[in-house]
Chains A and B, each alone.
Chain A
Amino acid sequence: QLQLQESGPGLVKPSETLSLTCTVSGGSVGSRDYYWAWIRQPPGKGLEWIGSIFYTGTTYYNPSVKTRITLSVDTSRNQFSLRLSSVTAADTALYYCARQRHSGSYHYWGQGALVTVSS
């Protein structure tokens, strides 16, 4: 059974960089059949896709964060990562990693990591 687990600091200061890693077990980030995605949910609000990465390192970003986001994948560690720079309070959210079919659907999700942006 595929499992995903987010990890990283829960508190980030304004203007600094948010960093999260998603560790995958029961499957391989090196699979050609899927993308690996990050989705966030601000407290009390809806879901927002922020980016996806293919095992080759090809990335796809939400235009709303395109200038601040970097996704990377490490097939040797079976992990993929998110970096979001110049964060503000508006980036406070529960960040989910997920496995995404090429058609776009997210079949497996991590438990989510709450990241708060505050000084």
Chain B
Amino acid sequence: QSALTQPPSASGSPGQSVTISCTGTSSDVGGYNSVSWYQQHPGRVPKLMIYEVSSRPSGVPDRFSGSKSGNTASLTVSGLQAEDEADYYCSSSAGSNVWVFGGGTKLTVL
């Protein structure tokens, strides 16, 4: 299976909204409601931000939201804050108990 496709970078000013895409195929993103999103600050452990497309773990601000349309999932960060600057990774089931990550997106808060 191939890695999911994410834009290498995204940016926005404080207070704005930014959306990061995660594109796969009907064999992964499009075929399962199993997309999850992770935030990773430099030198830190990845942190789960969204699971099962749009669910938020407790403690994750509601500024973070997830959605999916067809073979593309999206993570939207509303009301951007400086601490949102990080790398973001999507993940999805690829069927047959195989899972795949996206290549990652570096989010810059201008």
Contact = CB atoms under 8 A, between A and B. Distances in A.
Nearest to A107: B48
Contacts of B57: 107
Contact of A49 (B33, B47, B100, B104): B100
B110 interface: no
Contacts of A111: 45
Interface stretch (A14-22, A71-79, A98-106): A98-106
Quick one: which of A101, A104, A109, A112 has the most chain B CB within 10 A?
Answer: A104
A63 B1 CA distance: 8
A80 interface: no
Quick one: which of B47, B52, B97, B104 has the most chain A CB within 10 A?
Answer: B97
A62 B96 CA distance: 11
A112 B81 CA distance: 27
A111 B48 CA distance: 14
Interface in A49-108: 49, 52, 60, 62-63, 96, 100-101, 103-107
A52 B99 CA distance: 9
Contacts of B38: 47, 106
Interface of B: 1, 3, 32-34, 36, 38, 45-48, 51-52, 57, 89, 91-93, 97-104
